[in-house]
Amino acid sequence: MELISGIARNVRDSPGTGTINLDLGGRQVRLVQRAHERLDQGDQNGEDLVLADQQEVRDGDDLIVTGTEEAGIIVGYAYRNITQGFSWRASCKNDAFQGLLALFLSIGAVWYGFEAGGEIPLFFWIHRVTFFALALLFAAGTITYAIIIVERFSAAFRVNRAALETLQGIARNVRPSVDRFGAYLDIDASRVELLLMPRKIVIDDDDEVVVVGQRVGAVLAGMGYRNVTRGVVGRNWTPVGLMWTLLWMGAWLALPIALLWFRGDGMDDFDLVFGRALALVFLTATLVFALERFFRWRLDLEAWRRVRAGAQ
């Protein structure tokens, strides 16, 4: 998987495919273009506004793309448009569905192999070996789809990590929000926004600060900061919030696992199989959500590491 960045040139649509082709850093790139919901961070009260619009890649946009090379063209798994301030990642819904289907078939093949019977040993072992081989084949398919899902989340993480920028300097024209959980300021002629912080922001004019975030056009949207002058730090997450999310995810994972271990005394075979199938679906959805949160936490921790390193 490759990561490339640069200015988009020669952007052209592919009618009927929902994709665009462009030149980026001397390479040919193919990207998916679709309608999104965007977080607009321009509200003066520090509240994000969700706006549905068609986010298009245009000539002159600054892009970061992660993807694989196919026939000399980089097919993007994820990209970030720094100029317009939005990101895209390839969907993993179809991969999750097909991986779950392969898992069902693998379990069914194992069960049917164990149920093999017959008076002739040769036919008995042919039956069992055949279905065990099918189970291994479908299990390999499940693992393959799981790897594809992880790669797509990893591609989005690499794009967003590459988009992180560290800015250090003297704060000017500091304009905090009413509740001080957000602030607008200038650092060395660069506009900075710190929004939705879990703690009140402590930055005044003439303070030396370090801000790490992602650029949205001409504005740096901060994910964390350090006030070197006052010895105060701030970030867009807290350890308590992290632990609370982990506890909730543990509870959501425990429920389907308990259903899978449930023996179902008094239930007929159909109800038992149906209930365990639903438990597997629920478990898969929870694991995909946990994977998304894992890479989000990695990005937050990387931003926090850069905040601390930038002040040294």
Measured over the CA atoms of residue 33, residue 34, residue 40 and residue 41, the dihedral's sign is negative
pLDDT reported for residue 261: 67
pTM: 0.79
Q: What are 57-88's pLDDT values in tens digits? A: 889 999 999 999 888 899 989 999 998 888 88
Structural element, H or E, at residue 234: strand 232-235
What lies within 8 Å, CB to CB, of 79 at 6+ separation is 31, 63, 64, 65, 66, 67, 87, 88, 159
Q: What are 16-58's pLDDT values in tens digits? A: 777 889 999 888 999 887 544 444 444 444 333 333 344 688 8
pLDDT reported for residue 55: 64
The CATH-assigned architecture of domain 2-84 is: Beta Barrel (2.40)
The CATH-assigned architecture of domain 164-237 is: Beta Barrel (2.40)
Low-confidence stretches of the chain (pLDDT beneath 50): 35-54
pLDDT reported for residue 39: 40
Domain ranges in the chain are 2-84, 91-162, 164-237
% helix / strand / coil in the chain, to the nearest 5? 40, 35, 25
Are 135 and 114 spatial neighbours (Cβ–Cβ below 8 Å)? no
Are 204 and 240 spatial neighbours (Cβ–Cβ below 8 Å)? no
Angle at Cα 295 formed by Cα 42 and Cα 243, nearest 5°?
A: 90
- Residue that the structure tokens 């030396």 belong to: 208
pLDDT reported for residue 36: 45
pLDDT reported for residue 279: 79
Residue 224 three-state SS: strand
Same fold flag, 2-84 and 164-237: yes
pLDDT reported for residue 226: 92
